[in-house]
Amino acid sequence: MPAPDEPAVDAALAANVAHLARLGLSDDERRAAAAQLAGILGHFRALQAVDTAGVAPLVHTLAVPGAPAADSVVPFADARVRLLGLASHAREGFLVVPRILDADFGPEEPAAHADPDPADEESPG
């Protein structure tokens, strides 16, 4: 049960979250999402209730962090060359992939022309 100052997670809230996330959920999915969201928020409320007074913040997960790597410039092969070297089919510097569209869509439509800029026209006179 949520605290009195916290809103309950209902299907309407789940629907709003789904809308913001661009998810299309059915009524049953919204009800299930509301229950799951309520459970997740309940876990966070339990974590917030833990007394951490007097506990020092954790700076690093290891007691003695490793030495930093040397900051030096090293030669690095061109990524394109490395990728093409790993490919089983490459030709003329490009990857060769199977054709996925068999349809010929014909020539492209000409781009729609915008209205001419009046500044480009010659001024009378």
Q: What per-residue confidence (pLDDT) applies to 117? A: 56
Confidence (pTM): 0.41
Could you count the other beta carbons within 10 Å of the beta carbon of residue 18?
A: 17
Which of 1-5, 38-42, 66-70 holds the top average pLDDT?
Answer: 38-42
Q: How far is CA 22 from CA 10, 28, 83, 96, 115, in A?
A: 18, 17, 35, 36, 37
Helix (H) or strand (E) holding 19: helix 11-20
Q: What per-residue confidence (pLDDT) applies to 63? A: 75
Q: What is the pLDDT of residues 9-64, one digit of tens each?
A: 887 888 888 899 998 888 888 888 889 999 999 999 999 999 999 988 887 777 77
Asked if the model's pLDDT at residue 124 lies above 60, the reply is no
Phi first, then psi, for residue 44 (nearest 5°) are -65, -40
- Dist CA 33 CA 19 (whole Å): 12
- Dist CA 12 CA 37 (whole Å): 12
Asked if the model's pLDDT at residue 1 lies above 60, the reply is no
